[in-house]
Homo-oligomer: A and B are copies of this chain.
Amino acid sequence: MDKKATIHDIARELDLAASTVSRALNNHPRISKETKRAVNLTAKAFNYQPHRLAAALRNGKSNVIGVIIPTADRSFFGSIVRGIEEGLRKEGYQIMICQTYEDPSFEAAAVEVLLNSRVDGIIASLSKRTTNFDHFLKAKSKGIPIVLFDRSSDELDISHVIIDDFMGAFRAVDHLIQQGCRRIAHFTNFQKINIYKERLRGYREALEKNGIPFVPQLVIESDMQLEDGRLSMQTLLKGELMPDAVFSSSDLGAMGALQVLKENNIRVPDEVAIFGFSNEPFTSFSDPPISSVDQHCKRMGNAASEIFLEEIRRNATEKFIPRKVVFTPGLVIRGSSLKKETPILKTMP
C-alpha cells in the first residue's frame, strides 16, 4: 500500500520549497543548474511521478480526451479508436471512452460526464437516433474542441471528418451498372441520418446518370443487421421485381443478402451482384467475397485526432472556423460484384 512520492517529499529531502521543486522539474529558467540536478536526482530516487489530477485541477487541462462511440465491439469503431489513440499518445493524451449504445440520452450523459471530468476535447460519432445536438453545442461553448467523425451533420458549426458517402455509393452503383446490372436494389437504414441519406442519393444519381429509372420498390428500409439483410432479400425474392444487384448500405445487410441468395441457389454475382458498405473484415472472407466501400477508418481516426490537436493549439483570439474534412472512400471490388467476363480485379483509391 505504498504511497506515491510528491514534490513535497522531494522538497523536504533537499530542504527546499515545493515550488522550487516544481519549477526545477519543469525546467524553469530561474532555477540554478545545481538545484535542478539535485531535484531530478532525488525525483528519480523517489520514483516520483506527477499526480495528473492535481496538475489538471490547477491547470484546467487534464490531458485526457473523451471519445464517444455507439459501441466498442464493432470493428469500424475499434479501428477508429485505435487511429485516435495512435494520433494522440505521442502528445501525451489519454483516452476516456464512452459508449452510447445508439441512445441519444446516453450520448448526452456521456458528454456531461466527460465535461465534468474536464476532458480537453471530445471526439465523437453520433448515435443513429441523435436529432438534437445541444449537448455538443454546450460542450463547444465551454471552449474545448469537439470533432465528430463519420456520423455528423452539416448544419453543425463543429469540425468533422467524414467520408463522401454520396461518392462511395455513386461509384459502387456505377460499378454495378458497368457490370451490366440494371435492376439494382438498395438496402438503407430507416434512421434517416446523413450517411444513409447520402448513400441513397448516390445510388439515385448513379442510376440517373446511366439512364436507369429509379424504382421505389427496390429500396428497402431496415436496421441493416444480418437478419435484416436476409429479410430484405427474401422480400425481394418474393416480389415481382427480381433485382440483378443489391447495393447495401451496410456490410451485414449485404452478407444477409448473399446468404439468402446462396440458399436459393441464385448465383452471385452472375444472377445477382452484391455491394456492401464499410469494408468490414468479414467481407473478404465470404464466398464470393463481398465488394465494399472502404471508409479508411484508421485514417479517419488519425485525422480526427489531428483536427483536435490543431484546434487545441489554435490561438483563442482567431475566429473559429470548423474544419470539415471529407475523405474519398475507396472501392474494394471483390467477387460478389465482378462478373466473369470482366477480366481484372481492380481496387480503386
Contact = CB atoms under 8 A, between A and B. Distances in A.
Interface of A: 1-4, 49-54, 56-57, 62, 64, 71-75, 77-79, 81-82, 85, 94-99, 112-113, 115-118, 141-143, 255, 262, 281-282, 285-287, 297-298
Nearest to A47: B138
Given A53-B56, A116-B50, A116-B51, A255 B78 contact: no
Per assembly, the copies of the chain total 2
B141 A117 contact: no
A54 B59 CA distance: 12
Nearest to A86: B99
Contacts of A71: 78, 82
Contact of A1 (B1, B57, B142): B142
Given A53-B57, A282-B282, A285-B286, 4 more contacts: A72-B78, A73-B297, A95-B97, A96-B97
A116 to B, nearest CB: 5
A285 B287 CA distance: 8
23 contacts: A1-B142, A3-B142, A4-B115, A49-B115, A49-B116, A51-B116, A51-B118, A52-B113, A53-B118, A54-B57, A71-B82, A72-B72, A72-B79, A72-B81, A72-B82, A73-B75, A73-B81, A73-B297, A73-B298, A85-B99, A94-B98, A281-B282, A286-B287
A29 to B, nearest CB: 26
Contacts of A82: 71-73, 99
Contact of A2 (B2, B77, B141, B287): B141
Contacts of A297: 73
B112 A49 contact: yes
